[in-house]
A = this chain, B = another copy of it.
Amino acid sequence: MMTGYPAPMRRLIKELSRFPGVGEKTASRLAAFILHTPREEARRLAESIMEVKEKIRLCATCFNLAEGEFCDVCKDTTREKDVICVVEEPDSLIAIEESGSFRGTYHVLHGALSPLDGVGPERLRLQELRDRIERNRVREVIVATNPSVQGESTALLITRMLKEKDVRVTRIAFGVPMGGDLKYVDKMTLAKAIEFRRGM
């Protein structure tokens, strides 16, 4: 598909195809868009790519994305430092922040246990989590890893790791999502919803 394009277009298409879920067809479409976009907008895109690489690092406390040494959540003195919500990735953190339902702090593992992919406990930020719990007299750790095999085994590992510590370990609830209709909810989710039922 690419051979007919001039070399700079071919190079751009090749770079864009590195994106996850972007094949050569989509990359060609994106490259054509860049070609037609005003020069100033293209420059802003190119610059913001490099800006992210240069300025974003991981928060020294919770490993969330940060512009300086600490992330916005950790810098916020009104957040409860003694409640830590553990997530796999920064995007989970963003989703919880958007829900506006949490006033504590976070801990981003940057992954989940996945032995088949060579991700063992040492690849996650678990030692740092343990250190924080000891240092800050943490009351509760809410494990908000994803509802997947990897997320569940990571949750189990954290529970075991903290068993000896004087800290309450909880798991976010799984069940029927709000809105919609029970008849469209998958079997696994319904089973969880019944398992996690509570008194009214």
Contact = CB atoms under 8 A, between A and B. Distances in A.
B97 A49 contact: no
Report copies per complex. Answer: 2
A156 interface: no
Interface residues of A, number: 56
A200 interface: no
A33 B20 contact: yes
A8 B45 contact: no
A34 B49 contact: yes
A114 interface: no
Contact of A53 (B19, B29, B39, B56): B39
Interface string A38-66: 01011111111111110110000000011
Interface of A: 1-9, 11-12, 14-16, 18-21, 28-35, 37, 39, 41-53, 55-56, 65-67, 71-72, 89-91, 93-95, 97-98
